[in-house]
Amino acid sequence: MEKDFDNWNEIKKKTQSSSRAPVKVGEIYWCKLGLNIGVEQDGKDIEFQRPVLIIKKFSHEIVLVIPLTTKKHEGDWYFKLNLFENNSYAILNQTKPIDTKRLISSMGQISDTELSKIVDAYCKLIKSQ
């Protein structure tokens, strides 16, 4: 399937002039994740959006996020969450820093306990050989 990089590039140009929302670690946001190369996680729909979980705030301009999906996955690269009455999965191997201009709207906040479990799973994944 051919990817429409030209359409994403137009949306990216508009996103560059977006304002920044105040964010907190543990928040879930709709994010313009974009159209990416190969098997890197893409956003969906015409705006290339996907929910992401903020796991680290470096500044008001850049955060570390984990993309989320509702497709069932198992294994060390995924962490199962129960969000909004649905099962969701944090895609740990797709964690990436993003500019906060990509964030669209907050979907809510997870508990500190759940956040700690996800961060532990991520740290375990990156420490494994």
Q: Would you state the pLDDT for residue 1?
A: 66
Q: Which residue carries 């680290």 as its tokens?
A: 56
CA distance 72 to 107: 20
Domains of the chain listed by start with CATH number: 5-127 (2.30.30.110)
Q: Structure tokens of 123?
A: 């740290």
Q: Would you state the pLDDT for residue 129?
A: 62
DSSP string, 60-94: SSEEEEEEEE-S---STTEEEEEETTEEEEEEGGG
**CB burial string 91-113: b at 16+ within 10 A, e below:** bbebbeebebbbbbeeeeebeee
Q: Which residue carries 């993309």 as its tokens?
A: 67
pLDDT surpasses 70 at 41: no
How much is the pTM?
0.88
Amino acid at 81: L
| pLDDT band of 40, cuts 50, 70, 90 | low
pLDDT tens-digit profile of 66-118?
999 888 888 889 999 877 667 889 999 889 999 999 999 999 999 999 999 99
| pLDDT band of 12, cuts 50, 70, 90 | confident
Q: Structure tokens of 120?
A: 């532990």
CA distance 4 to 11: 11
How far is Cα of residue 108 from the mean position of the Cα atoms in its chain? 13
